[in-house]
Amino acid sequence: MIKAVIFDMDGVLTETSHQHFLAWNRLAEELGYILPLEVKDAVRGISRLASLDIVLKAVNADKRFTESEKLVLAEIKNIYYIESIKRFTAEDLSEGARELLELLKENGLKIALASASKNSKFLLRAMEIKQYFDIVVDPAVIQKGKPAPDIFLKAAELLNIAPEDCIGIEDAYAGIESIQRAGMTALGVGDAAVLSNCSIVFDNLQGVYSYFVRLFRE
Ligand code: BG6
Ligand code: MG
């Protein structure tokens, strides 16, 4: 029986995958590269430093920087990213997000956040949805990022709910894998071609809303 829903943030509750890509692109341009568009999907769900490796590899610059230089580059990207989300408000929530959170609460489900982003607590407050979340996993305490199951398992542990009683919602291929390896049901949001490892994919959260309406009627 489903008792909890565990959300990803970027690309699910808000369309910040775009801002992440623009920040990487700005950094790449400053380093003299043109970032291929595929990087946008490749870094979905992937931690900041691991994303930097993907970015550098995509422009054949994976040998150019030392580890300490890479820390600086990741920090610069984060400054650009923060700049792009600093004026976020409730208006920036994905369509249907608040209605979905309300529906889940009304039906007695627990709600958790399992985002790889260290900026997602800021977004929860800025978009005025923090009150819906029973727990928020701190990605800093997770050793292995998505696609490892750790962050979703941590959410279930903090909620004190068995993984098989949880649904995870993701826009990333790596995120879907993480949910599946945690032994949970995975719902994908976004491009079905990108989410080829997920059997239930919706275009948007309104589709997810209808899924839960049906589930609660059963
Ligand atoms: C994920 C995004 O949610 O968070 C990734 O999909 C991003 O693109 C990752 O790299 C880490 O985010 P941040 O904000 O801590 O750099
Ligand atoms: Mg995401």
pLDDT in tens, 3-29: 999 999 999 999 999 999 999 999 999
10 is a catalytic site residue: yes
pTM of the model: 0.97
Q: What is the DSSP string of 180-196?
A: HHTT-EEEEES-TTTTT
Tokens of 164: 């098989």
8 is a catalytic site residue: yes
Tell me which ligand sits closest to the C-alpha of residue 13.
2
Give the model's confidence band at 74: pLDDT under 50 very low, under 70 low, under 90 confident, else very high.
very high
Q: What is the DSSP string of 158-181?
A: HHT--GGGEEEEESSHHHHHHHHH
Tell me what the mean pLDDT of segment 158-187 comes to. 98
* HSE-up of residue 148 (Cα within 13 Å, Cβ side): 10
Three-state secondary structure call for residue 167: strand
* HSE-up of residue 152 (Cα within 13 Å, Cβ side): 32
- pLDDT at residue 76 is higher than 90: yes
Distance 114 CA to ligand 2 centre (A): 10
Residue closest by Cα to atom 1 of ligand 1: 45
Tell me, what DSSP letter sits at residue 45?
A: T
pLDDT digits (tens, 9 = 90+) for 177-199: 999 999 999 999 999 999 999 99
Instruction: Please state the atom number of ligand 1 nearest to the C-alpha of residue 11.
Output: 6
Residue closest by Cα to atom 13 of ligand 1: 117
Tell me what the mean pLDDT of segment 108-125 comes to. 98
Ligand 1 neighbourhood includes 48 CB (under 6 angstroms):
yes
Ligand 1 neighbourhood includes 14 CB (under 6 angstroms):
no
How many secondary structure helices (H) and strands (E) does the chain include?
Answer: 9, 6
pLDDT at 136: 98
**E-only strand ranges, the chain:** 4-7, 110-113, 135-136, 166-170, 185-189, 201-202
- pLDDT at residue 218 is higher than 90: no
